[in-house]
Amino acid sequence: MARETWGTRIGFILAAVGSAIGLGNIWRFPFQVSQEGGAAFMVMYLAFIILIGFPAMLAEFVVGRKTELNTVGAIRDFAGGYWQYLGGLFVFIGFVILSYYSVIGGWVLRYILGSVTGGYAATESAAAYFGMVATGTDTLIAHAVFMLLVIGIVALGIQQGIELGVKVMVPAILAIFGILAVYAFTLPGAGEAYAYYLSPDIGYIMQNWQSLVPAAAGQGFFTLSLGMGVMITYASYLGDDKNLGIDGISIVVLNTSVSILTGLVVFPILFSAGVDPATSGPGAIFVSIAEAVLDLPFGRVVGLLFFLTVAIAALSSAISLIEVVVSYAIDEFGMDRVKATVIAGVAIFILGVPVTMNTVFINLYDILAAQILLVLGGVLLMVLVSWLHAGEAIEELEQGIGDLGSIGSLWIWMVRVPVILVLLVSLYLGVTGYID
Ligand code: PHE
Ligand code: NA
């Protein structure tokens, strides 16, 4: 049977955008911003997205499109020998990230329910409601429901499942968040929130760069779904003559817009309700949004729309995480797609079970997978592409664009030095930071 491909180029771009926009933008981003100095973090993050994230994304694209294989096969084909274990690392990271990502996805489903039934208004406090949602049997059930949605979409295939899904989901995310941003603009705290969020303090950046750099780089990689083979896998379903540069720019611009939009929605809501945005921990966005919307006009509708968008965004990322595993099983073992998806889904569900019992596992899984392995995987892949196979990489990028001349070398040198340097520094600061 012929290997699957995207039906349209837009389908590929939307799938990649859907992968990028997710809990990273909505659950992780606002609290990175508030913990790392508001607008100062924004400046660093935007710089990294453009200077580090975009070149790294192109590197993943060329490996995927050139080989038209899953991440293990792709790296083996591209580089040979032991490098295929890097692909194995990517598959492993996909397992780990999706296992806790899905538990949080389950929380979001419960908050949708809570908005409909008024559940989080009925408990004594927003924090108490989160306590109920975070762990226990119902959490396990919600995790199972979220994984079933993921399995259902991916089992239908690239065109009938993922592509069709993202064509509905990505426009829905943009539309609902656009409406919410307009609503947030009308709130009394909007002006104060915009000032906090959008006017950077350069002095702060100079003094705090040691914590800003790894936070912004980690967030940049996580949000663009880099460092674990998603973009290799998605690009492997492309035909030949696509302009990867334009595709990459579209994905980066759309994902960044949603991150900025998230801030324009979240901060006015929090400031208007007098909720401190700097509360930390995995429950922060849930507790503070639930608390805030209760005091605001049309609160429950706003809560419902907000959590609905988060659920859609999480789902469109989750399908990309499992697709890394599924495409590996299909290409390497000749497994049937439905069977591969069910087996991978059940295994990921089981790995997520501890997370449904105690939220410390979220931190554990997140630090291991998202902050250490993702960056490690990223560094190794960037070395492979830019130092060991630069010629092939540039040649592949030029397919569908034409002769790039010095832009090709500029790209390779961006990856060779600044990208790798920032990732190494972040890895060092990240690992040493968690050891103390
Ligand atoms: N980019 C996704 C988000 O922001 C998370 C993700 C990371 C998805 C890595 C795939 C791979 O939520
Ligand atoms: Na994202």
Number of the ligand closest to the Cα of 60:
1
List the one residue out of 29, 74, 75, 26 whose CA is nearest residue 49. 29
| 9-435: CATH superfamily | Amino acid/polyamine transporter I (1.20.1740.10)
Number of the ligand closest to the Cα of 229:
1
Mean pLDDT by 10 residues, the chain (436 residues): 91 96 85 77 89 96 97 96 94 96 97 89 81 94 98 97 97 93 90 83 80 82 94 92 92 90 85 71 80 82 93 97 98 97 98 96 86 91 98 95 93 97 90 66
Looking at residue 281, its pLDDT comes to 67
CB-count burial class (<10 Å; 0-12, 13-18, 19+) for 347 = middle
- The domain segmentation of the chain, as residue ranges, is 9-435
Cβ count within 10 A of residue 428: 12
Phi then psi for 359, rounded to 5 degrees? -70, -10
> How many Å apart are CA 327 and CA 230, to the nearest integer?
10
Residue with tokens 């002769």: 403
> How many Å apart are CA 33 and CA 216, to the nearest integer?
9
pTM: 0.94
Mutation test of ligand 1: which of 97, 231, 254, 317 has the most ligand atoms closer than 8 Å to its C-beta?
A: 317
pLDDT tens digit string along 122-148? Answer: 777 888 889 899 999 999 999 999 999
> Going by C-beta distance under 8 Å and a sequence separation of 6 or more, which residues neighbour residue 311?
105, 108, 109, 112
> How many Å apart are CA 398 and CA 409, to the nearest integer?
12
Q: Which residues line the pocket of ligand 1, CB cutoff 6 A? A: 19-20, 22-25, 97, 222-223, 225, 228, 230, 317, 320-321
| CA within 13 Å, CB half, 30 | 30
Q: How many Å from the N-terminal Cα to the C-terminal Cα in the chain?
A: 52
ipTM: 0.97
Cα 314 to the chain's mean position, in Å? Answer: 8
Contact between 69 and 77 under an 8 Å Cβ cutoff? The reply is yes
Ligand 1: residue whose CA is nearest its atom 7: 225
* 82 Cα: distance to centroid of ligand 2 (angstroms): 31
Contact between 315 and 105 under an 8 Å Cβ cutoff? The reply is yes
Give Cα separations from 423 to 89, 211, 214, 373, 415 (angstroms): 17, 14, 8, 11, 10
For the chain, what percentages of helix, strand and coil (3-state, to nearest 5) are there? 85, 0, 15
